[in-house]
Structure 1
Amino acid sequence: MTRTSPAAAGAAGMGLAVLAASVGTSAANVALPELAVAFDASPGQVRWVVVAYLLGMTATSVAVGDLGDRLGHRRVLLAGLALFGGAALAGACAPGLGVLVAARGVQGVGAAVMTALPLAIARATAGPERVGRTMGLLGTTSAVGTAAGPALGGLLIGLGGWRAPFLAMVPVGLLALVLVARGPVGDSPGARPVRFDGPGAGLLIAATALYGLALTAPTDRWPTGPLLVAAALLTAAFVLVETRSTHPVVPMRVLGSRAVAIGLGTNVVVAAVMMTTLVVGPFFLADALHLPVAAIGAIMAVGPVISAGTGIPAGRLVDRAGASVTVTVGLVMLTAGALALAFFPVWWGVVGYVAALLVLTPGYQLFLAANTTAMLNRTAERHRGTAAGLLGLSRNLGLITGASALGAVFTGAVGSVDPAAADGRPAAWRLTFLTAAALTAGAALASRFAARARSGADRPG
């Protein structure tokens, strides 16, 4: 037998890093009831175990990407894997809920590294004809991790209690670290000046964290309005600082590109729509279709399973048809899928729900592979870590916004009708996904506008 080549080891390590970060996002959810008993805490208190991870991952996405550009993507990825594993061990050994929450926040920082930098490394090492399928493979890995997280978490808790899911992440992070360390270097430190823009990074982290708190933390203790205002003010201060910095975290010329800005904006919209299916879906399946919990869990797993199966084919289509065209195709499919979700489940129940997912989810994978490829292709190599971090930031902001804003559309619509009315839930469901369809249709139009603008700019005058 031949030894694994450095390239294969590095690719496996990056895939495992993305997988571990995704599992870390969803596996802890099933531990919350156990944590409430173990620490004699309320559901609102143990919820911070999930929120801290998400906030750490979201707030630092861009900063860790920028560090990768300055110090070397592989070097920072190794540090992030070590941080992830160490924080997982600290969480597993936590004597109290406060220590566990702090460890999860630190682990989220490691997860930010593990989701952003593999994209930058893969773009640098994949041949031009294989970039799309590489991004599709990483997207598939992420979907598998998200889908498998709750099942793995439940299994591990059954075997070893609430500490088991956190403890299991330690060897996974260590294995990924060893594989990445065995892989090819792939980049060299110093692609950008090493000097780090601390004020800019601090403002961006604070603004993102406040926005996340506003939409995820319990509103009785964290007032949403003041937090959103503070986040907006810090964002304005960040832009001002970055325009004057000689070594900015986010060079304004990166964001100044219309195509990049639209790519990030559509990423927010798509993530919000996909999160809505996970947040609103269980309520509709339980209250409108009257399904038992076991059936709801099985049906909710359909989307991630489809996503895992369509990621690599989507990436191959990106390589053949081009990223720009495939982004639009994906957004059109997402719009059609959202429209189908608005009506099919109401008409045909579970069959209609699954049929709509068969349109929506492949569209999501097409968009994800194409948009990631296009974003990294349009960014200079010395800024690809930052671009990957911005993609992670926009995705996470979309997830948070979808859970809050579009979830509020559903609950608000439910509350506006007579609770005794038979069609209350279906009407709220239709309104929610018609809103989602309008958002993705707008994103598709913006994407085509950007593509035509680029095409016009490329024509000789």
Structure 2
Amino acid sequence: MGSAKYELITENEGYGASVRWALASLSLSMLMSSLDTSIANVGLPTLAQVFNASMQEVQWVVLAYLLVITTLIVSAGRLGDIIGRRRLLLIGISLFTVTSFLCGAAHTLWLLIAARAVQGLGAAIMMALTVALVGETVPRSKTGSAMGLLGTMSAIGTALGPSLGGFLIAGPGWRNIFFVNVPLGVLNFFLARRYLPAHEQRGKADRNSFDNLGTLLLGLTLTAYALAVTVGNGHFDRLNVVLLLTAVFVGGLFVFAESKVTSPLIRLNEFRNVVFSTSLTMNLLVATVMMATLVVGPFYLSRGLGLKVAFVGIVMSVGPVISALSGIPAGRIVDLLGAKAVVMIGLIAMTLGLFALSILPGMFGVAGYIAAVAVLTPGYQLFQAANNTTVMMDVQTDRRGVISGMLSLSRNLGLMTGASVMGVVFALASGAAHITTARPEEVASGMRLTFIIAGIMMVLALFIAVVRRTSVPVN
């Protein structure tokens, strides 16, 4: 059924057979890496029992994967620019597939965590190069539709993870949440090898000039920042401050180093490009506020509205389902109206949806929550398809990998920041001593203020888009 749906979509977009199969490979790469972002979460209680470990220990099964993706995704994109994006994507798919098997075969928790970390490297390569390869796979006029398709596959993977993981754990066993990637990876490898374009032009001067120092410093910076916003279980204490200061210090060293090397990992002058720098900023803001729905939503539905756990899961699945359904139409709208205009349309819809989340649930309960999400989520897909298209449309061929990696990095940093910051905002806004024991009215109060702040952040993003549109000629 999924294959038939994919073929219908690509036929409707006017792609040839070889392009459809190439897009199938890119879509599968996005699906696999997104699926494993969420599929392991549901298995954490089972893993704690199997390995006789604490919850803090088994959480590293998830954190190791996300940390490696975040710290290495830009470097993976740059390496693809140097040695060939198709070649590196094949390596990434192979690495992801092999380590998926090793994860499922692990007999100790620390072997599982180590395998997940290497699996994260494979996922970083796949995430960085999937978007970059769109420019070499589809006609320029269909870029928006292709970005919408990838957005749909990302949403499907994220949404499918918890339900598929729960089914596999309850049935064949926890190891199969990793083994399921093996046949998908084998199929993806052969599709990528057969149909993705192999003739990539790369700058001769850059072929042997990978920025090792820049890669190390950026990795250390991102690791320190990621740990600063994830450790502490929502409490910002001395360790978090030290990690944050470390990130700032090493980040300063990274900027200094990049200004001195002849072939830097990130060219600092690229941030002078208004379109590029504003797109990254908006991407980070959007990801931050979208994470608020995942952090705040379950608490409000369960403690604020008193829903049972099963019904909370059903309501929370509404957003990912809408996201999956709206990705393809969002891409078509981008091709029809232009990326820069659709960025603004998406941000307006998101702003309305966030302010609606601060008002409608208090008035209409679950129905109000779903109505607000039904406005917010399509706006998010419109923004993602349009923003990715805006950035990738005019990128130099030898920089597509690293620019795609930076787009993904800004999104990941936003998600991590949102999980930490918006969680703290919600806890403080509720006024409760502990959010897990907060009264319904306290949770409702926290919900309102959190999404008012999120809405203000989207107003800021919209202001950035308006200023950019008035200062940069529309293509």
How far apart in 1 are the matches of 2:438 and 2:66? 37
Write the mapping of 1:201-350 to structure 2, written as runs, cut at 5 A. 201-218=215-232, 223-350=239-366
By how many angstroms is 1:332 displaced? Answer: 0.8
Amino acid at match of 1:454: V
Question: 1:352 maps to which residue?
Answer: 368
Q: Is the 8 A contact 1:200 1:249 kept in 2?
A: yes
Q: Is the 8 A contact 1:259 1:451 kept in 2?
A: no
Give the TM-score of the pair, scaled to structure 2.
Answer: 0.92
Q: Is the 8 A contact 1:333 1:359 kept in 2?
A: yes
Question: 1:450 maps to which residue?
Answer: 468
Q: Is the 8 A contact 1:91 1:103 kept in 2?
A: yes
Among 429, 432, 435, the alignment partner of 1:413 is 429
How far apart in 2 are the matches of 1:92 and 1:339? 43
How far apart in 2 are the matches of 1:244 and 1:50? 36
**Greater shift in the superposed pair: 367-376 or 413-422:** 413-422
> CA 1:186 to 1:222, structure 2 compared with 1: closer, same or farther past 3 Å?
farther
By how many angstroms is 1:416 displaced? Answer: 5.1
Q: Is the 8 A contact 1:262 1:446 kept in 2?
A: yes
Write the mapping of 1:367-378 to structure 2, written as runs, cut at 5 A. 367-378=383-394
> CA 1:114 to 1:184, structure 2 compared with 1: closer, same or farther past 3 Å?
closer
> CA 1:305 to 1:451, structure 2 compared with 1: closer, same or farther past 3 Å?
same
Question: 1:430 maps to which residue?
Answer: 448
By how many angstroms is 1:422 displaced? Answer: 5.2
By how many angstroms is 1:9 displaced? Answer: 2.5
Q: Is the 8 A contact 2:137 2:196 kept in 1?
A: no
How far apart in 1 are the matches of 2:109 and 2:238? 19
Give the TM-score of the pair, scaled to structure 1.
Answer: 0.95
Amino acid at match of 1:262: T
Question: 2:55 maps to which residue?
Answer: 43
Amino acid at match of 1:315: G
Deviations 1:171-196 (A, max 9, x none): 21121111100114254263461221
Q: Is the 8 A contact 1:84 1:108 kept in 2?
A: yes
> CA 1:132 to 1:183, structure 2 compared with 1: closer, same or farther past 3 Å?
same
How far apart in 1 are the matches of 2:362 and 2:155? 27
Q: Is the 8 A contact 1:6 1:182 kept in 2?
A: no
How far apart in 1 are the matches of 2:151 and 2:238? 34
Give the paired residue count. Answer: 454
Amino acid at match of 2:211: D
How far apart in 2 are the matches of 1:416 and 1:243? 48
Question: 1:77 maps to which residue?
Answer: 89
By how many angstroms is 1:36 displaced? Answer: 0.2
SS in 2 for 1:60: helix
Q: Is the 8 A contact 2:258 2:264 kept in 1?
A: yes
Q: Is the 8 A contact 1:44 1:218 kept in 2?
A: no
Which stretches in structure 2 are left out of the alignment for 5+ residues? 1-15
> CA 1:46 to 1:422, structure 2 compared with 1: closer, same or farther past 3 Å?
closer
Question: 1:198 maps to which residue?
Answer: 212
Question: 1:395 maps to which residue?
Answer: 411
Identity of aligned residues (%): 43
Q: Is the 8 A contact 1:214 1:225 kept in 2?
A: yes
Asked if 1:155 corresponds to 2:184, the answer is no
Which stretches in structure 1 are left out of the alignment for 5+ residues? none
How far apart in 2 are the matches of 1:420 and 1:24? 32
How far apart in 2 are the matches of 1:319 and 1:180? 25
Question: 1:178 maps to which residue?
Answer: 190
Deviations 1:35-57 (A, max 9, x none): 00011001111011001111111
Asked if 1:108 corresponds to 2:120, the answer is yes
**Greater shift in the superposed pair: 245-254 or 310-319:** 245-254
Question: 2:8 maps to which residue?
Answer: none
Q: Is the 8 A contact 2:73 2:406 kept in 1?
A: yes
> CA 1:222 to 1:293, structure 2 compared with 1: closer, same or farther past 3 Å?
farther
Amino acid at match of 1:24: D
By how many angstroms is 1:118 displaced? Answer: 1.2
Q: Is the 8 A contact 1:211 1:228 kept in 2?
A: yes
Deviations 1:349-395 (A, max 9, x none): 00000000111000000000000000112422211111100011000
Amino acid at match of 1:212: A
How far apart in 1 are the matches of 2:179 and 2:137? 32
Amino acid at match of 1:445: F
